[in-house]
Each structure stands twice: as structure tokens, then as C-alpha cells.
């Protein structure tokens, strides 16, 4: 890809992130019944940056298929970012990953306290479903979005991955359990984001299948890149604690297979992600670029 | 009400609780993709008894309006009990109420650990929405159920009440903040249960309004009775730690207004609950009896 495309892609990602953040800000502003401290805590973590990649995927795919970004897509993008944010808040808790730094700021339980962090996480998760149910006029579409988001985020998806991740800290993981963790903890949510976008874009069955697969491969690649960055990056670049995996003796792709082999696997996944897009025309170039960008990202 | 009705009511409540527990068991059995330890922890807390009052309200109201208990009503009853159970699991955590005993057994974080309890709670909450989205064929009904459940359970409902409850522990609450806590932490979920049942029973608009109000009054009465039981009951009867409110210097109706005045308010709420049912015939007698039973309950 040309350097111009690279510049354009980065601008587009920022525009999409802005759309998602604006949608989240509007939602929080309109939810006047939220208990004040809870609202403050939710906004602290929800509106404090973040790459919004999952939300951007929803928007890109809807735009690709429908030629525009609909209110439904914005709502779905906001919903998946709420779910992603809740997962970070709970994951950072002392009983979980025990992290002090997130998105360049103190984690929620450090800024407030543990009880507030638990409840703010619960609130974000529940609000995501409330928004899908109340903001999307077409019931058929709305209930499909709820089903997809709940499935990828729930105990057969992201929460399963988090549970396996916690267990892996207690005993050395092998490559199979590592794949299980990446698949569930990370890739399911990327696949969910792609599916939400596809549903908002009225995708045909075959397109839906391909795009869900695209998200899955992209998510696997993203997580390996994350593990590599934990070894190679700085806290300043990442906005969260790095070097933690090694300090905690945590099994990762780099620790299990080495950096070179990990990069090879990530490249293979990038190619598989590109393959899922073979039936799409140049409108999918942004998605293609996103797949290749996974390995180049610095944070 | 006659003694015969009392016996019949208690049998009926047990039948309804069995239906709910069976539905929950089936759901957990069919969810084969849940991470094994997570599944075990979710079942430990979900299938370990509990009165299932919220689920029973869903079933009673559907039965009253439609003459039968539908698959939709069973699913909605299971969903609200999953949400109620998740709220107990998170509420029992050390950073929240720090409780060791629940439903006569060690709390989830005591039996397993805090991380497992946080994730099992997250899993139950998310699974509730997954079930509503995937088990109910009529999209219009399904999305209404999701909207109601998310609204009453979320940061403008139950989670708001929990947040206010935590804050009230740090500073003495007055009657207004106590009403806010009861309304949000408890009564919204009862109102939600009644509304889910009404929706499953194809209630007309006026019926829906009255039944939602019935649930609200019932829930307020239930919570005051709970506070009274915390003073007057034993741990054995309640299956959870009692006398905690007083030990923690927690402001409750009894501590703020005394036992007699608290009972008076509960009686007033019972009468208000009965008033909301004035347009229903004798088919609502079970709901009427339930309202009068709130004050007589021993656990």
C-alpha cells in the first residue's frame, strides 16, 4: 500500500474513533437517571481515549456494505466499546490482573475504589444491551445484535477466555490453551464487531460468514501483536503497564515460541484475514489495510 | 385468606420455583461451550436454591393473563433469576458487602476465589441477555424483554441502587436516600419481573402499567421486610448472615424509624400493591396473596 493510503487510513481510523466517542458521550449525557458517582466513574473510563478498533470495525463494515454509517451502526459500535471497556475495568481489578495503569491514566479502582469499579463495569455491560434494545427501531436487527454481542462477550466467549487466562497464570500454558485464550478472550469480540457491522450493513449470509471470519483472524493477530508489544514496547507508548507478562512469568506466544516464530504466526493470520475478503472489491481495502497494520502497530 | 389458600399458595410457589430452576438447569446443560470451571461456578450459585420470587412473578403473571406458562415466560423467568444471582455474587464480594454465607452455603468467592466470582457474575449477566435473544422466536417480544431487563438491572436501576447502598455505608443515610436505595436496588427488579410476565402474557397497555406498579410496591415492601428480618430472624432461617446491618451500623428502615413504624410502612405498601390489582378479577388472587405474604415471610 502507498504512503498516501497509510496517511488516509490513520485519519479515517481517527474519524471513526471520534464518531464512536461522540456516540458514547451522547449516550452518557442522555442517561440522566444513572447514579451520579457511577455515571462519573463510567465516563472516566469510557471517554478516556482508547483506540476504538472494535467500534471502528463496526462502522467500516457498515459503510462498506451500505455506503453510509447508520444510527444503528453507531449504536452497535458504542455498545461493543462499552462491553470492551467493562472487560478492561474488571480485568484490571486486584483479584484479576491487578493493574494500575490503563489508557495512560490510573485504572478505575485506583482512581475510585474496587466497589465502584465492579459496579461501573456491571453498569457498562448492562447499558450496552439497554442501548441496543432501545435505540434501534427494527426489532429483527436489534435482537440479532443483542444475540451476537451477548454470545461473543459471554461465558462461551470473552468471559471464558478471561477465566482460562486467570487459570493459565497458575500453571504454565501450552499452545492449545494459549490458542483457546486468544480465540475467546480477544478474537471473539473482533469477530463480534465485524458481525455487528455486517448485520447493520444488511450483509448477505455468505458475506456475514466471511466477515465474521475476518474478525476472528484479525483478533487472533491483534492478540499476538499485543503479546509481542508487551515484550518490545514501553509503557508510555502503550498507555498501560508493559513487560508484565515476563515479570509474571506468564505464558505468551513470544515466551512459548520466541519472537520470530510469533511474528510468523501473526503474518500467517494476516494472510488468512486477507483471504476472507477475496470476494469483496476495493471497498474492502481499508479492512485489508487494517489486517496488515496489526503487526506494525506501536500501541 | 383461608388456610387452604395458604397451603395452595405455598405449593404453587414451590412449583413455580421448580419450573424456574429446571429452566436454569437446562440452559446451563445446553451451554456446552462455557469454560468448565466457569460453568461449575455459575451452576454452584445458580442452582443452589433461592426463593425464585422474581422468576415466579414472571410465571404467575403470564399464567394469569394467558392461561398458561409459555416457553417465553420460562426463559424470561430464568433470565431475571440469572441477573438477580449475578447481583448477589458481586454484592457478596469482599470489596462490596463482604459476605461469607449465601443461600445457606459459602458465597462464591469463598468456595472458589474472587476472580472466579467476578467472572461468574459477568457470565450470568451476559448469558441472561443471550438467552432472551436466542430462545424467543418473536423478535418484537424478545427485544422488549431485553430492554426491560437491561433498564431495571442497569446503572439507572439495580446497579444505581447498589452504588448508593455502598455510599450509604460510609455516611448515615436519611429516609430519602434509603427510599432511593430500596427503589433502585430491589423494587426495580420486582417491577421488571412483573413487566416481563405482562409482556409474555400479551398484556394491554393499562394492564402493563398496573402490573409494573404492582411489582414496584411489592419490591419496596419486600426490602423493608428484609431489613426487619435482619433484626428479628436467625442466619439459619435466612440462609445468609443476619444482624449484619446493626453490626455494621447500617442505616435501615428499622434503625431509622423503629420496628413498629417500619411495619406500618410495609403494610401501607402492601395495600398500595393490592390497589394496583383492583381491575383484575380473582385470577389475580395469587398476586394479592403474595403481597400480603411479604410481611409474614420468615426468609
Phi-psi region of B104 (alpha: psi -120 to 50; beta: other; left: phi over 0): left
Which chain A residues have a beta carbon less than 8 Å from that of B34? 155-156, 160
Report, as an integer, the average pLDDT of B127-136: 98
CB atoms within 10 A of CB B2: 7
Among the partner-chain residues A34, A143, A166, the one whose CB lies closest to the CB of B160 is A34
- Return the higher-pLDDT residue of B61 and B235: B61
Report, as an integer, the average pLDDT of B280-297: 92
* Farthest CA pair distance, chain B: 52
Judge whether B202 and B66 are in contact, CB under 8 Å. yes
Phi-psi region of A50 (alpha: psi -120 to 50; beta: other; left: phi over 0): left
- Cβ separation A130–B151 shorter than 8 A: yes
Tell me, what's the pLDDT at B235? 59
User: Within a domain: residue B261?
Assistant: yes
User: Within a domain: residue B299?
Assistant: no
What is the torsional sign of CA B36, B40, B41, B45?
Answer: positive
In A, minimum Cα distance to B93 occurs at A115
Determine contact: B110 vs chain A, CB below 8 A.
no
- Cβ separation B127–A96 shorter than 8 A: no
Judge whether A276 and A215 are in contact, CB under 8 Å. no
**Distance from C-alpha of B274 to C-alpha of B67, rounded to nearest angstrom:** 21
Pick the range with the lowest mean pLDDT from B54-63, B86-95, B166-175: B166-175
Mean pLDDT (chain A) is 93
Q: Which residues contact A229 (CB under 8 A, 6 or more apart)?
A: A238, A242, A297, A298, A299
Among the partner-chain residues A90, A115, A116, the one whose CB lies closest to the CB of B118 is A90
Determine contact: B126 vs chain A, CB below 8 A.
yes
pLDDT exceeds cutoff 70 at A199 = yes
Tell me, what's the pLDDT at A223? 93
Determine contact: A40 vs chain B, CB below 8 A.
no
Residue found under cell 441496543:
A132
The C-alpha cell at B33 is 461451550
Helix (H) or strand (E) holding B102: strand B101-102
Q: Quick one: how far is CA A274 from the chain centroid? A: 19
pLDDT exceeds cutoff 60 at A16 = yes
- Cβ separation B39–A155 shorter than 8 A: yes
**Distance from C-alpha of B31 to C-alpha of B33, rounded to nearest angstrom:** 6
Determine contact: A90 vs chain B, CB below 8 A.
yes
Tell me, what's the pLDDT at B252? 87
pLDDT per position as a tens digit, B150-195: 999 999 999 999 999 999 988 877 899 999 999 999 999 999 999 9
User: Within a domain: residue B111?
Assistant: yes
Where does chain A show beta strands of DSSP type E? 101-102, 105-106
DSSP string, A22-41: HHHHHHHHH-TTS-HHHHHH
Which chain B residues have a beta carbon less than 8 Å from that of A149? 129
Residue found under cell 433484626:
B231
Report, as an integer, the average pLDDT of A132-146: 98
3-state secondary structure (DSSP) of residue B212: helix
Picking from B1, B80, B87, the residue whose alpha carbon sits closest to that of residue B291 is: B1
pLDDT per position as a tens digit, A242-276: 666 666 667 889 989 999 999 999 999 999 999 99
* B106 beta partners: B101
Q: Quick one: how far is CA A278 from the chain centroid? A: 24
Mean pLDDT (chain B) is 93
- Cβ separation A119–B166 shorter than 8 A: yes
- Cβ separation A155–B93 shorter than 8 A: no
Judge whether B242 and B229 are in contact, CB under 8 Å. yes
Determine contact: A132 vs chain B, CB below 8 A.
yes
Determine contact: B123 vs chain A, CB below 8 A.
yes
CB atoms within 10 A of CB B191: 26
pLDDT band at B83 (very low <50, low <70, confident <90, very high): very high
Instruction: Enter the DSSP assignment of A242.
Output: -
Judge whether B262 and B189 are in contact, CB under 8 Å. no
Best residue of A143, A173, A179 to probe chain B, by most B CBs closer than 10 Å: A143
Provide the CATH number for the domain around residue A137: 1.10.600.10
Helix (H) or strand (E) holding A220: helix A205-232
User: Within a domain: residue B213?
Assistant: yes
pLDDT band at A240 (very low <50, low <70, confident <90, very high): low
**Distance from C-alpha of A219 to C-alpha of A291, rounded to nearest angstrom:** 9
pLDDT exceeds cutoff 60 at B1 = no
**Distance from C-alpha of B124 to C-alpha of B89, rounded to nearest angstrom:** 10
Report, as an integer, the average pLDDT of B249-260: 86
CB atoms within 10 A of CB B176: 8
Helix (H) or strand (E) holding B282: none
Q: Interface pTM (ipTM) of the complex?
A: 0.95
Determine contact: A164 vs chain B, CB below 8 A.
yes
Among the partner-chain residues B33, B114, B133, the one whose CB lies closest to the CB of A143 is B133
For strands A105-106 and B101-102, give the pairing. Answer: unpaired
DSSP string, B110-143: HHS-HHHHHHHHHHHHHHHHHHHHHH-S-HHHHH
pLDDT exceeds cutoff 60 at B284 = yes
- Return the higher-pLDDT residue of B238 and B281: B281
**Distance from C-alpha of A187 to C-alpha of A178, rounded to nearest angstrom:** 12
Picking from A125, A24, A8, the residue whose alpha carbon sits closest to that of residue A60 is: A8
The C-alpha cell at B172 is 448515615
Q: Which residues contact B16 (CB under 8 A, 6 or more apart)?
A: B52, B55, B56, B59, B60
Picking from A48, A52, A42, A58, the residue whose alpha carbon sits closest to that of residue A14 is: A52
Report, as an integer, the average pLDDT of A63-77: 98
Picking from B125, B130, B117, the residue whose alpha carbon sits closest to that of residue B154 is: B125
pLDDT band at A241 (very low <50, low <70, confident <90, very high): low
**Distance from C-alpha of B291 to C-alpha of B270, rounded to nearest angstrom:** 6
CB atoms within 10 A of CB B179: 14
Instruction: Enter the DSSP assignment of A137.
Output: S
- Cβ separation A35–B133 shorter than 8 A: no
Give the number of A-B residue pairs with CB atoms closer than 8 Å. Answer: 167
Rg (Cα) of chain B, in Å, rounded?
Answer: 18
Q: Quick one: how far is CA B252 from the chain centroid? A: 19
In A, minimum Cα distance to B28 occurs at A155
Report, as an integer, the average pLDDT of B204-231: 94
Q: Which residues contact A262 (CB under 8 A, 6 or more apart)?
A: A224, A227, A228, A253, A254
End-to-end C-alpha distance for chain A, whole angstroms = 21
**Distance from C-alpha of A258 to C-alpha of B136, rounded to nearest angstrom:** 48
Determine contact: B171 vs chain A, CB below 8 A.
no
User: Within a domain: residue A298?
Assistant: no
Q: Which domain holds residue A14?
A: 3-293
- Helix A3-30 crosses helix A36-46 at what angle (to 10 degrees)? 180
Residue found under cell 461456578:
B41
- Cβ separation A151–B163 shorter than 8 A: no
pLDDT per position as a tens digit, A150-163: 999 999 999 999 99
User: Within a domain: residue A256?
Assistant: yes
3-state secondary structure (DSSP) of residue A278: coil
- Cβ separation A126–B155 shorter than 8 A: yes
Pick the range with the lowest mean pLDDT from A295-299, B7-11, B223-227: A295-299
User: Within a domain: residue B58?
Assistant: yes
**Distance from C-alpha of B5 to C-alpha of B34, rounded to nearest angstrom:** 42
Which chain A residues have a beta carbon less than 8 Å from that of B116? 163, 166
Tell me, what's the pLDDT at B166? 93
Among the partner-chain residues B42, B118, B122, the one whose CB lies closest to the CB of A95 is B118
B contact residues 265-284, partner A, Cβ 8 Å cutoff: none
What is the torsional sign of CA A104, A107, A111, A117?
Answer: positive
Determine contact: A122 vs chain B, CB below 8 A.
yes
User: Within a domain: residue B298?
Assistant: no
Q: How many domains would you assign to chain A?
A: 1
* A102 beta partners: A105
Which chain A residues have a beta carbon less than 8 Å from that of B142? 139, 143, 146
Judge whether B161 and B108 are in contact, CB under 8 Å. no
Determine contact: B166 vs chain A, CB below 8 A.
yes
Determine contact: B130 vs chain A, CB below 8 A.
yes
- Cβ separation A126–B167 shorter than 8 A: no
Amino acid at each position: 500500500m502507498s504512503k498516501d493510503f497509510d496517511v488516509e487510513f490513520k485519519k479515517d481510523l481517527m474519524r471513526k474513533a471520534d464518531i464512536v466517542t461522540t456516540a458514547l458521550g451522547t449516550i452518557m449525557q442522555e442517561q440522566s437517571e444513572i447514579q451520579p458517582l457511577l455515571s462519573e466513574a463510567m465516563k472516566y473510563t469510557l471517554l478516556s481515549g482508547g483506540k476504538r478498533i472494535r467500534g471502528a470495525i463496526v462502522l467500516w463494515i457498515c459503510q462498506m456494505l451500505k455506503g453510509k454509517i447508520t444510527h444503528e451502526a453507531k449504536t452497535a459500535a458504542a455498545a461493543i466499546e462499552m462491553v470492551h471497556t467493562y472487560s478492561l475495568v474488571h480485568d484490571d481489578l486486584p483479584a484479576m490482573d491487578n493493574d494500575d495503569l490503563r489508557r495512560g491514566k490510573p485504572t478505575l479502582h485506583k482512581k475510585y475504589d474496587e466497589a465502584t469499579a465492579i459496579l461501573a463495569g456491571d453498569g457498562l455491560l448492562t447499558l450496552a444491551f439497554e442501548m441496543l434494545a432501545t435505540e434501534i427501531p427494527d426489532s429483527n436487527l436489534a435482537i440479532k445484535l443483542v444475540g451476537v454481542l451477548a454470545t461473543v462477550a459471554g461465558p462461551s466467549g470473552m468471559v471464558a477466555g478471561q477465566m482460562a487466562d486467570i487459570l493459565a497464570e497458575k500453571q504454565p500454558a501450552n499452545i492449545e490453551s494459549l490458542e483457546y485464550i486468544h480465540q475467546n478472550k480477544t478474537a471473539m469480540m473482533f469477530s463480534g464487531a465485524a458481525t455487528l457491522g455486517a448485520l447493520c450493513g444488511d450483509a448477505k449470509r455468505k458475506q456475514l460468514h466471511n466477515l465474521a471470519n475476518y474478525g476472528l483472524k484479525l483478533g487472533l493477530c491483534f492478540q499476538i501483536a499485543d503479546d509481542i508489544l508487551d515484550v518490545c514496547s514501553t509503557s508510555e507508548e502503550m498507555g498501560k503497564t508493559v513487560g508484565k507478562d515476563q515479570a509474571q512469568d506468564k505464558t505468551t506466544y513470544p515466551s512459548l515460541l520466541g519472537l520470530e516464530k510469533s511474528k510468523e504466526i501473526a503474518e500467517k493470520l494476516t494472510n488468512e484475514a486477507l483471504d476472507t475478503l477475496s470476494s469483496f472489491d476495493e471497498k474492502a481495502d481499508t479492512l485489508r489495510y487494517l489486517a496488515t497494520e496489526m503487526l506494525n502497530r506501536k500501541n
